[in-house]
Amino acid sequence: MIKQYYLRTVSALLSSLTPTWRERIYKILSDMPRLLGINLACGFAVTYVLRTGGSLFVNVTVSMFIGFSAYTLINGTKQLIWRDKEPHVIGFYLMCLLVAPLAFFVGLLIASYLLNFSINAFSHFQWNHVSNFVIMTCIVSLVAAWSFWNRGKMAELVAAAEAEKAKNAAIEKQALQAQLQMLQAQIEPHMLFNTLANLQGLIAIDPERAQHMLAQLIIYLRNTLSSSRAEQTSLKQEFTLMQAYLELLAIRMGKRLRYTMDLPDALQQTSIAPMLLQPLVENAIKHGLEPKMEGGSIHVVAEAVTGQLHLKVIDTGLGLPFNYDDSHVASTDGLHVGNANIRDRLLALYGPQASLTLTANAPEGAIAHLTIPLPQLP
């Protein structure tokens, strides 16, 4: 929690800098908590493990200055030698070994100057064993450099993974949009040609019905065009589209098609992906009602149950084939393939929380049941 607050504060302070400097300073500040922890551990180790004498305060203070000196000199030397390029691993660690002894003495001198200590005040360091402290500084510097190196590599890998994830999401989104447009391209010409053929015949014998049919066609095309350009649509708009679609078919099929629609007021503005209902309605017409001599009825209903949106297309057509198994897709069965495509869209858009099932309707017909999670209200 503290680290998150620290990083948020740092991000706010750096927002006015150029991207390059912002990235550099952000890296330094994000390294500080780990660097402070390493320095503090060294101070405790010198006091309670090596037992060189001196107070914990002095040892921690000197460790802090040595640690910050090592961090500054190593990063500064790295920038001078390699600039913004990736350093060679062996060369980088050799550079750390060469810079670490210098960092030890620089940190010691800075600590004595800033804290107004004389060098004699550090007599507990036992100058005849100064090599032990230099070796300790080299070891800690190598371990810290390895830690920061791996942390930077991990951050790069995470950033690359996020970029790849965003790229894949964009590609998947484009694929879904292309699939939607392909679906519309498959539906609209067939629908349009049949409607225009019926319209041509009605103009001469029944101008009033022809005018009504033309009005429904305009509504249908307007809503279809709007849906094709949007990632989301409202249930009200989707039901308006389905009503125009079914009304056009009802004019063509006459008494062989009866339909009802049920959309509660509370769900009218609910957002869903476009073109989820139409393939189900078209399947009910194509595989259920059109082949049946006397036709039948279609009921389209929406309801909300325990955080899930349930959309049902209920028909009284021929029903499902004998021993129908919707889990096995047959390439020659348009019903299977169409349902598989819808399920692929549902999985990509909503994840495993969404589903499509087809069951028999008693006493005749079929029920296409679409379930998707309701959008979270703000």
pLDDT at 142: 78
Distance of CA 98 to the CA centre of its chain: 45
Query: Above pLDDT 70, what percent of the chain?
Result: 74
Of 29, 39, 28, 32, the closest CA to residue 143 belongs to 39
How, if at all, do strands 257-262 and 296-305 pair?
parallel
pLDDT of residue 235: 93
**Is there a domain that residue 378 lies in?**
no
Q: What is the CATH number of the domain that holds 193?
A: 3.30.565.10
Verify that 170 and 251 share a domain, yes or no: no
Report if residue 274 sits inside a domain: yes
Which of 180, 211, 227 is where one domain is finished? 180
Nearest Cα to Cα of residue 36 among 4, 11, 60, 2? 60
179 band by pLDDT with thresholds 50, 70 and 90: low
Map tokens 């308006």 to a residue: 240
Residues 169 and 205 placed together within one structural domain of the fold: no
Domain annotation covers residue 18: yes
Please tell me the distance from the alpha carbon of residue 342 to that of residue 271, in angstroms, as a whole number. 17
| Dist CA 55 CA 168 (whole Å) | 57
Three-point CA angle 51, 53, 59, nearest 5°: 90
Query: Residues 290-305: pLDDT tens digits?
Result: 999 999 999 999 999 9
Is the previous residue joined to 375 through a cis bond, with omega within 30 degrees of 0?
A: no
Last residue of a domain, one of 147, 180, 213: 180
* Total domains present in the chain: 2
Does residue 52 belong to any structural domain of this protein?
A: yes
Return the C-alpha torsion angle 114, 96, 84, 6, nearest 10.
-50
Looking at per-residue pLDDT, the higher value among 333 and 94 belongs to 94
Same domain, 93 and 51: yes
Question: What is the β-pairing status of strands 308-315 and 355-360?
Answer: unpaired
215-220 long-range contacts (CB < 8 A, ≥24 apart) are 216/244, 216/247, 216/248, 216/251, 217/244, 217/248, 219/244, 220/191, 220/244, 220/245, 220/248
Residue 270 CB: number of other CB atoms within 10 A? 20
Cβ neighbours for 139, distance < 8 A, ≥ 6 positions apart = none
Give mean pLDDT, residues 103-127. Answer: 68
Query: What's the pLDDT score for residue 332?
Result: 46
Q: Is 288 helix (H, G, I), strand (E, B) or coil?
A: helix
Residue ending a domain, choose from 180, 213, 235: 180
SS3 233: strand
Please tell me whether residues 48 and 160 are part of one structural domain.
Answer: yes
- How far is residue 32 from each of residues 11, 20, 43, measured CA to CA in Å? 14, 19, 16
- Give the H/E segment covering residue 360: strand 355-360
Percent of the chain scoring above 90 in pLDDT? 16
Neighbours of 226 (CB within 10 A): 13
Q: So what's the pLDDT on residue 256?
A: 92
Least confident of 42-56, 108-122, 123-137, 234-248: 123-137
Q: Is residue 160 part of a domain?
A: yes
Query: pLDDT, tens digit, for every residue of 18-72?
Result: 666 666 676 677 777 777 888 788 878 777 777 766 678 877 888 888 888 888 8
Round to whole Å and give the CA distance between 172 and 378.
27
Tokens of residue 187, six digits: 């539906």
**Do 139 and 156 fall within a single domain?**
yes
pLDDT of 208 higher than 70: yes
Same domain, 33 and 89: yes
Is 155 contained in some domain? Answer: yes
| Residue 37: C-alpha distances to residues 9, 52, 63, 151, 226 (Å) | 20, 21, 11, 15, 58
pLDDT value for 68? 84
Specify the pLDDT at position 36.
Answer: 82
When mean pLDDT is compared over 35-39, 141-145, 357-361, the highest value belongs to 357-361
204 pLDDT tier (thresholds 50, 70, 90): confident
- In this structure, the answer to whether residues 348 and 206 fall within a common structural domain is yes
156 shares a domain with 201? no
Q: CA 123 to CA 53: how far, in whole Å? A: 9
Amino acid 114 reads L
Same domain, 34 and 73: yes
What is residue 161's predicted lDDT score, i.e. its pLDDT? 76
Residue 301 sits in the same domain as residue 256: yes
Is the same domain home to 209 and 350? yes
In whole angstroms, give the CA distance from residue 123 to residue 126. 6
Q: Can you tell me the mean pLDDT for 283-289?
A: 89
- Same domain, yes or no, for 95 and 193? no
- On average, the pLDDT of the chain sits at 78
Burial class (CB in 10 A: 0-12, 13-18, 19+), 99: buried
Does a structural domain hold residue 175?
yes
CA distance 124 to 208: 107
Rounded Cα distance between 190 and 249, Å, is: 12
Contact call for residues 308 and 374 (beta carbons, < 8 A): yes
pLDDT tens, position by position, 319-340:
888 777 666 545 445 555 567 7
Q: Which of 6-10, 103-107, 145-149 has the highest mean pLDDT?
A: 103-107
Least confident of 147-151, 229-233, 319-323, 329-333: 329-333
- 378 pLDDT exceeds 50? no
Residue 152 has pLDDT above 70, yes or no: no
Q: What is the pLDDT of residue 268?
A: 93
Whether 160 shows a pLDDT value over 60: the answer reads yes
Domain that holds residue 362: 189-373
